[in-house]
Structure 1
């Protein structure tokens, strides 16, 4: 059916590209959506798990430049960033996710790009220009995708080289001086070899004004270069070599200060133009203002008001990725696939943690990392009724990180409005932390499908994994003799050392290995071609590890693996001659030995109160919920979609250890990043205008209240309910040219996206994007 486009909402998605999505049998109907969620091409309605497939058209409708654009459009999927590390991703599916941005914490939602899992969350908000589709697999996927997939998988499939010459060019200009220019060119070199080249550049100003100097904060400037060669001499063999480079030169992460009078980080409103805190009281939820303002001082000031040893308004990422994929079909041992992957990156972040007009604290963090992986598998039909996938996987990864924290609010601070001066009654702290981690994982897996009858199929899978991690971490703390703390401990006025060494926390290198077995057992039943019922039991795990950011030697760990058992049942149905698609999923998860970060405070008579953290296997939880998704095509050109997700994610057993001593019984409290309700309603309509085609699209997303950065439910740490409306108007001319208008957050709702509450100390926040709008144009050939 030409011209019908469907936006993904949960497991109901826009159609795949023409070569992957066969046409419906009449002029009004839903197309098949081909996915590779089980490492084989299948109609999404035949896959017995909860899966969403977000196609290229759906991503265009979302005006998404990175995977963060999926936030709100797929039920029970949360996509965001850590507030103080803007290029570190935070993915949570069904309440299972990792909030800690440093690599030592690992992942529970695996980001897989062209078959290669990305071990590091840093830089994992991938650019999605020229992406064929993004598949979201909800629930444990350990059998086929391995460890660290207890929450699920976000599977990104880039458009591959084709044998026809063609290409496209897209340009966008929007408010905040957003400019995006991107293009893809497909070139058949000969009958056996084809190449595809992609370039994408996206930049915009920040949407938060710095009250210190009037500059914008949080700017974006990112460029992607991707290329691929595909060699396919015959129908039984193909080999694809691809490479990618991403260069990001963004502004520093923006932190908003929510501190209140009496708290250590509080700066009086009006002092040196200090902005009002968006938090009005400890017992109340914070509220984003009508105008976004913040403060970054980027270093301490000397007596003349000049910045000494400044940090930079920068967050710089250089990321390299390469892969080699081999497919050999119809061999004596089945269809063989081998995928070799490599990625490395360097990330340099500067952050003004104090977020006020008076310099209080900042961090400099440099991370260098690489990963290498190899997968080899085969899919073979043992008999007419038994199909088997079997294979092995190995990954090696390494990272080094040096973080430098400078504090000048360790003691009381005095403000003099008359002379516009600030006096520190306590010297500043300088703390450097080093992390050096090596990790390798090797596993073998098998998944079999048994056709018990023509309608009933049994699915059984198992995976054994051996993983070893070693960590060398240390922290060194010094105290400056003056109010200025420099990176090298040298007083800028005298050129002499001005610091006192308080020693280091430097335990011996930690090293440990773990062996784990995960499995899956399920049944699916198809009484008709358009109806499937399924159920399964899956056990997944996340590996153990070591903590890299230390305040005490005991913080290092190790912490042990965590485990989940998920029971899921579902119905997938195409009804009324495929004019209506209805998918319903119910699930229950038993989540044990949860790896949770524990925050504490060290009361030191010399250095004051220092915040520390470690990871311990401290809790268990029960998670249950329902996901309902509908898509309808009542008439030619009109597509309506709706989705509703309910999530009950609560601790079953958890004694939270307070930093000041004692504990809190957290039984019955909600998990982080797990809103109880989320929903989406979407409509798109295509219609002819002479020789042209018009297209209208609108989407409404709702998400209820949640906690994100805090474990303990504190009103100041709550993320408010959110209502987001997006809209597009497009005009296509002669099947080649396109021009359109777009708006995200059309109603310009202002929300807080990240909130933390450390009572008596500070409350760092981040703001969600305001209304973004602009004009776009495209040409394809």
Structure 2
């Protein structure tokens, strides 16, 4: 017996070593008999649950999804693999109300139902409204969204406030990711994928016992792909993929009711990324000679193509998206008895960001260097007590979190900057701005403490009431220090020095602020649900939630060189959320239909603003809009009439608007620079005539210092979004293996959406449809081979449109992926 155990341990260690050093990969359990779907595939069935049952942990315990009064979408690992949904960014194609936007890993926004984080702006001093959790560990920055999933078993997308159950308050929803855990049976898998654009992906995982009380799991993945945009300046393809990740888990089970799991992971990216293409010119209110066509002509410049889907760029600054993240956690689960469980999660995570960008979005030498590398360390401790009985379930929890982020930025202007940015006599003097350099030093120290509880009590047969409460304390300390030197290395003062210094400060103004604050918040929710029939659940929810205050870590607008310190912080959001839902299964559980309607009203909505008092480069910060609202309806449907055929469809209507935003940042068609901004009276009312949008100012007309965006849509939100798919299979024998030949299709659609903090006539992104196909063979012994085509009809679409600096009318864009195709082979053993 001892020799057999030693042999198996040696085999496991040898397999793990080979996995990590020869073929990094991602584990997958044997394929489950379900089509790719959202909330209706049979993801996991660890207990005596009925067929076609999803087991989720959304309420911090194993439950059947159809019995949980919550709007939730679930993806199992086969759905993730078959549909290519290998990261949070790609999961959005299967979950219509999830929106993910990524200009680069740091500048990534994750929203649910149109809310979560200010669109298009990275600011470390503000919270994410959508919490990302991996094995119960909170990931404080959304850069994790751009990494490949690593040995993931299931992804749950929870919609609506979740603060009374999750350690960090999540006002818009949560993404709960569960990885595969160590097993006491030896198992493993390996997968290899090859495709066009030199796409290569390898995944492997092994798991098994080291002793009768200790099990280990090791997994790795490696992904690379040539970029989809050709840079004529460097001769390289940019916006490539270059990901490597490893994860190790050690499970210690000293007794049958105690599991202690030590986990560690490390992921790195080092692609030449992230660049843009020329999209179009949109006229502003500037003088004609200060708009992009005239500037380009005067400087002898033309973009490499005026068709963005030629996928050509000429950005001339160095590009890099170096990104390293990892950490360790210790999770202990003690089942006191068959009703009570105590869970402790201790975690540390780090994130190192090493970027290089071209912030003028062109081959002009305007911004020569733009890089803001940062280093984050976070520490968290969560403790939960779960009790479950026939009529009563409850969770009591406490959460502590500390985070420190340090940033060291360098920005340098180029030889074309004076002509591009200035309007006076110094415009034709390149030396005024060439070499102008800003060094930015920032740090953020953030502490969060919380106590939370949620109770579910069955008052009468089938009728449950579920109240929850949360008490939260936040403290933040920040620093923003910008020191500016001219091209000769001379310090630029905060005030004085004549017109040259004024022009230099219009681009990079020295500034030193140390924002800080602390706040207590109390939030609560209550849900009532009624099991109308064994497979019909009705529920209704009210939640009073919040998102804590934020610090502007990227500087604030200044008047006469004096920072406006009242803008250094933004008030907390106050949220009232209402939701009602229906969950049903019928046709002997072969069909599932879920429906939810909701309304979320946010007072003091934290929105991205741009100061019109600072001419030159766009300077965004975050302040409070008076109120925003998101309301809509969501539906999920699945039908599996037989083992050979399955269908799914999900759809959402989302009405997300600024209910009241009276002083929103002007869109580019209403901008001309601060020297021509209209005056305001003591009450903040505009008292000078405003010029027409997109027309150079004449006479006494001025540009508005702000616009009333009340009633406008929130950025990044499509009013309509859908996903649907089907899979069919038939028995077959291939390579002497018995199994099934299958074919599937997945379609996603979203209607047009705004890609600017305030809607602009130039930055609406047209609606689009993406269609993916797959076909292949899967055997009963875990072998599968299949081919796939994603974006099969080569739809042209944009992920984002961006307004270039200085409001010259240049609109740049990030095109979505073109048609890609390839093949995958996978073995389970």
**Same fold, TM-score > 0.5, yes or no:** yes
Residue among 760, 773, 776 paired with 2:821: 773
Deviates more, 1:178-187 or 1:734-743: 734-743
Q: Does 1:466 align with 2:510?
A: no
Quick one: distance in 2 between partners of 1:52 and 1:674? 18
| CA shift for structure 1 position 765 | 1.7
When residues 167 and 114 of structure 1 are mapped into structure 2, their CA distance, relative to the original with a 3 A threshold, is same
Quick one: distance in 1 between partners of 2:245 and 2:36? 25
Deviates more, 1:659-668 or 1:35-44: 659-668
Which residue number in structure 1 is paired with residue 808 of structure 2?
Answer: 760
| CA shift for structure 1 position 424 | 4.0
| CA shift for structure 1 position 268 | 4.1
Q: Does 1:216 align with 2:222?
A: no
Match runs of 1:165-244 below 5 Å: 165-244=186-265
Q: Does 1:678 align with 2:759?
A: no
Which residue number in structure 2 is paired with residue 60 of structure 1?
Answer: 81
Residue among 628, 631, 637 paired with 1:624: 631
Which residue number in structure 2 is paired with residue 520 of structure 1?
Answer: 525
Tell me, yes or no, if the aligned pair for 1:726 and 1:745 is still in contact at 8 Å: yes
| CA shift for structure 1 position 342 | 0.9
Which residue number in structure 2 is paired with residue 307 of structure 1?
Answer: none
Tell me, yes or no, if the aligned pair for 2:546 and 2:574 is still in contact at 8 Å: yes
Quick one: distance in 2 between partners of 1:351 and 1:610? 15
Tell me, yes or no, if the aligned pair for 1:107 and 1:149 is still in contact at 8 Å: yes
Which residue number in structure 2 is paired with residue 274 of structure 1?
Answer: 303
Which residue number in structure 2 is paired with residue 328 of structure 1?
Answer: 334
| CA shift for structure 1 position 487 | 13
Superposed CA deviations along residues 68-121 of structure 1, whole A, max 9, x for unmatched, are 11122102111231x2x2454321101102222232232111111110111112
Q: Secondary structure at the match of 2:80?
A: helix
Match runs of 1:568-647 below 5 Å: 568-602=579-613, 609-647=616-654
Which residue number in structure 2 is paired with residue 7 of structure 1?
Answer: 36
Tell me, yes or no, if the aligned pair for 2:469 and 2:524 is still in contact at 8 Å: yes
Quick one: distance in 2 between partners of 1:152 and 1:615? 21
Tell me, yes or no, if the aligned pair for 1:256 and 1:765 is still in contact at 8 Å: yes
Q: Secondary structure at the match of 1:716?
A: coil
Match runs of 1:402-441 below 5 Å: 402-408=408-414, 409-412=416-419, 424=430, 426-428=432-434, 429-441=436-448
Which residue number in structure 1 is paired with residue 514 of structure 2?
Answer: 509
Superposed CA deviations along residues 291-337 of structure 1, whole A, max 9, x for unmatched, are 21111212xxxxxxxxxxxxx33211121211111011135993100
Superposed CA deviations along residues 503-550 of structure 1, whole A, max 9, x for unmatched, are 964445222101101111111000222110000101221111211111
Which residue number in structure 2 is paired with residue 301 of structure 1?
Answer: none
| CA shift for structure 1 position 58 | 0.8
Tell me, yes or no, if the aligned pair for 2:101 and 2:800 is still in contact at 8 Å: no
| CA shift for structure 1 position 384 | 5.0
Q: Secondary structure at the match of 1:179?
A: strand
Q: Does 1:536 align with 2:546?
A: no
Q: Does 1:692 align with 2:703?
A: no
Quick one: distance in 1 between partners of 2:54 and 2:74? 8
| CA shift for structure 1 position 761 | 4.9
Tell me, yes or no, if the aligned pair for 2:147 and 2:243 is still in contact at 8 Å: no
When residues 775 and 2 of structure 1 are mapped into structure 2, their CA distance, relative to the original with a 3 A threshold, is closer
| CA shift for structure 1 position 18 | 4.8
Match runs of 1:379-418 below 5 Å: 379-381=386-388, 385-408=391-414, 409-412=416-419
Q: Secondary structure at the match of 2:598?
A: strand
Q: Does 1:719 align with 2:765?
A: yes
Residue among 98, 107, 110 paired with 1:91: 110
Q: Does 1:159 align with 2:180?
A: yes
Q: Does 1:349 align with 2:360?
A: no
Tell me, yes or no, if the aligned pair for 1:570 and 1:584 is still in contact at 8 Å: yes
Quick one: distance in 2 between partners of 1:43 and 1:76? 22
Which residue number in structure 1 is paired with residue 7 of structure 2?
Answer: none
When residues 665 and 146 of structure 1 are mapped into structure 2, their CA distance, relative to the original with a 3 A threshold, is farther
Q: Secondary structure at the match of 1:435?
A: strand
Structure 1 residue ranges without an equivalent (≥5): 25-30, 279-287, 299-311, 415-421, 490-497
Tell me, yes or no, if the aligned pair for 1:72 and 1:703 is still in contact at 8 Å: no
Superposed CA deviations along residues 264-299 of structure 1, whole A, max 9, x for unmatched, are 555648956632345xxxxxxxxx42x21111212x
Q: Secondary structure at the match of 1:212?
A: coil
TM-score, normalized by length of structure 1? 0.88
Quick one: distance in 1 between partners of 2:31 and 2:411? 57
Quick one: distance in 1 between partners of 2:31 and 2:124? 45
| CA shift for structure 1 position 570 | 0.5
Which residue number in structure 1 is paired with residue 321 of structure 2?
Answer: 315
When residues 254 and 387 of structure 1 are mapped into structure 2, their CA distance, relative to the original with a 3 A threshold, is same
Tell me, yes or no, if the aligned pair for 2:715 and 2:759 is still in contact at 8 Å: no
Deviates more, 1:148-157 or 1:229-238: 229-238
Q: Secondary structure at the match of 1:412?
A: helix
Which residue number in structure 1 is paired with residue 464 of structure 2?
Answer: 457
Tell me, yes or no, if the aligned pair for 2:582 and 2:595 is still in contact at 8 Å: yes
Q: Does 1:554 align with 2:564?
A: yes
* Number of residues of Structure 1 aligned to a counterpart in Structure 2: 723
Which residue number in structure 2 is paired with residue 285 of structure 1?
Answer: none
Residue among 663, 667, 687 paired with 2:710: 667
When residues 476 and 392 of structure 1 are mapped into structure 2, their CA distance, relative to the original with a 3 A threshold, is same
Residue among 47, 57, 65 paired with 1:44: 65
Quick one: distance in 2 between partners of 1:329 and 1:3? 29
Which residue number in structure 1 is paired with residue 313 of structure 2?
Answer: 294
Q: Does 1:19 align with 2:26?
A: no
Which residue number in structure 1 is paired with residue 16 of structure 2?
Answer: none
Which residue number in structure 2 is paired with residue 494 of structure 1?
Answer: none
Tell me, yes or no, if the aligned pair for 1:199 and 1:226 is still in contact at 8 Å: yes
Quick one: distance in 2 between partners of 1:610 and 1:274? 21
Tell me, yes or no, if the aligned pair for 1:103 and 1:121 is still in contact at 8 Å: no
Deviates more, 1:265-274 or 1:712-721: 265-274
TM-score, normalized by length of structure 2? 0.83
When residues 272 and 504 of structure 1 are mapped into structure 2, their CA distance, relative to the original with a 3 A threshold, is closer
Which one has a larger percent strand, Structure 1 or Structure 2? 1
Quick one: distance in 2 between partners of 1:150 and 1:214? 45
Tell me, yes or no, if the aligned pair for 1:451 and 1:457 is still in contact at 8 Å: yes
When residues 545 and 584 of structure 1 are mapped into structure 2, their CA distance, relative to the original with a 3 A threshold, is same
Tell me, yes or no, if the aligned pair for 1:431 and 1:476 is still in contact at 8 Å: yes
Quick one: distance in 2 between partners of 1:432 and 1:343? 27
